Amino acid sequence: MKIFSHLLERGRDVELWVSGGLSGHIEKHFPELLPHVVIYDKGSAGVASVEKRSRRGLRRLLAKSALLRRIVYKHRAAGVPELVKRRNVDLAHIFLDFSFPVPSVAGCSTVFEVTSPDIAKHLGAMPEDFIKGHTLFNAVSDSVYGVSRKYIDDDKLTTAPLPYFRPSTLIPSMPGHKENAITFAARLISRKNGILFANAVDAFLSRHESWRVDILGNGPDEDAIKAILSRWIENGRAFVGKVSDVTPYLIKSKIFVSVIEPDNYPSQSVMEAMYAGNALLLSDTGMSKQKFIDGNGRVVDLTKEGVVDGLEALVSSDNLGDLGVRSRQLVSERFSADNYVDYIEGLYRSALTNDSDSHRK
């Protein structure tokens, strides 16, 4: 949604297709996008929803000539080719959706976003026509690219040179007062290693009475994590659960922990934490150290002892505050949202050109 908003700022002729379940999220967090949103599940309900929300906006969208492209972001629907044709869609940029018809069926070029190693592995279970049919595939990182190469030919696969990052909440300057708090924010699934972290936290908190830990998220590992940390949850020194906004926690905390496999990069949570001035403790996996660590934290082995030792080293550091300041600096040095969108627009041009060349052949 942030990428889509950025494209709108550049004056691109785009619209955002989402399932009805996301409409509330958009209305709450991205209300400025509503005139450009197609809420589409089945039949013509999506178009009707747009018309009810903004009749003038709908007419304006339908009147556009699509000189560059329209982008389809996410949808779950039958009858996609008919809607693509009706709304003059030239190119669909697809996130987290394996149901979108290939270009020969949909009638438009496609860029399929490979957003994680799990999505890359799922490509291996897709029919051969699915891989051949889509125009281009975009891997979000080198590690995701490495998995994707097992299933996609190099001429159809590219990798983003940097992650897209715009903070969820603008923090004009480095946060001032910070508490002795550690934040962990992730989906609580096995490869995020929340259980491993909880066991390390249990040992760490028993030695450091002035510190607290917040594990923000939900998922299948949540109950096990709560059981491990039950005594700390009861006395208010730990919290486990999903929250609507992690930013207030990141502003207050001094350390952010991410122990993801196979790679922390390009985690949005890590970049949000850096922007909020947190020192980092990351698993030494993939390109985590190369991309995120430069005088602002440390990487650790994926063992309870490794995580505990890493936490001990950070909290006993005389310059912990300086590490957080360095994290904030690295965000502006390494992650330019404008550079990322330049890359994406070049990718769109390549997809449209490739399809044109194929049709000429």
pLDDT category of residue 100 using cuts at 50, 70 and 90: confident
pLDDT at 64 over 90: no
Tokens 């270009």 identify what position?
Answer: 103
Q: What is the pLDDT of residue 52?
A: 34
Q: What is the pLDDT of residue 315?
A: 98
Structural Rg of the chain based on CA atoms: 22
190-234 pLDDT, tens digit each: 999 999 999 999 999 999 999 999 999 999 999 999 999 999 999
At residue 345, φ and ψ (nearest 5 deg) are -65, -35
What proportion of the chain, given as a percentage, has pLDDT over 70? 87
pLDDT at 78 over 90: no
238-261 pLDDT, tens digit each: 999 999 999 999 999 999 999 999
Higher-confidence position of 49 and 139: 139
**Token pair of 350 as six digits:** 């390549």
- 114, 136 contact by CB (below 8 A): no
Provide DSSP, 47-68. Answer: HHHHHHH-HHHHHHHHH---SS
Summarize the confidence of residues 162-166 as an average pLDDT. Answer: 95
Rounded Cα–Cα distance for residues 265 and 330 (Å): 14
Rounded Cα–Cα distance for residues 46 and 107 (Å): 19
Of residues 111, 146, 153, 163, the one with CA closest to residue 132: 153
pLDDT at 76 over 70: no
Higher-confidence position of 22 and 123: 123
Query: Residues 80, 135, 162, 340: what is their CA dihedral angle, to the nearest 10 degrees?
Result: -60
pLDDT category of residue 115 using cuts at 50, 70 and 90: very high
Provide DSSP, 144-203. Answer: HHHHHTTTS-GGGEEE-SS-----SS--SS------SEEEEES--SGGGTHHHHHHHHHH
Longest dimension (CA), the chain: 70
Q: What is the pLDDT of residue 88?
A: 86
- 246, 269 contact by CB (below 8 A): yes
Q: What is the pLDDT of residue 73?
A: 42
pLDDT at 70 over 60: no
pLDDT at 59 over 90: no
Q: What is the pLDDT of residue 305?
A: 98
Q: What is the pLDDT of residue 360?
A: 38
Rounded Cα–Cα distance for residues 83 and 102 (Å): 14
Rounded Cα–Cα distance for residues 242 and 246 (Å): 9
CA atoms within 13 A on the CB side of 287: 15
Rounded Cα–Cα distance for residues 256 and 183 (Å): 5
Which distant-in-sequence residues (6+ apart) come within 8 Å of 133 by Cβ? 102, 103, 104, 105
Q: What is the pLDDT of residue 146?
A: 95
> pTM for the full model?
0.83
293-341 pLDDT, tens digit each: 999 999 999 999 999 999 999 999 999 999 999 999 999 999 999 999 9
Bridge-partner residues for 182, per DSSP?
Answer: 213, 255
Amino acid at site 95: F
Higher-confidence position of 264 and 74: 264
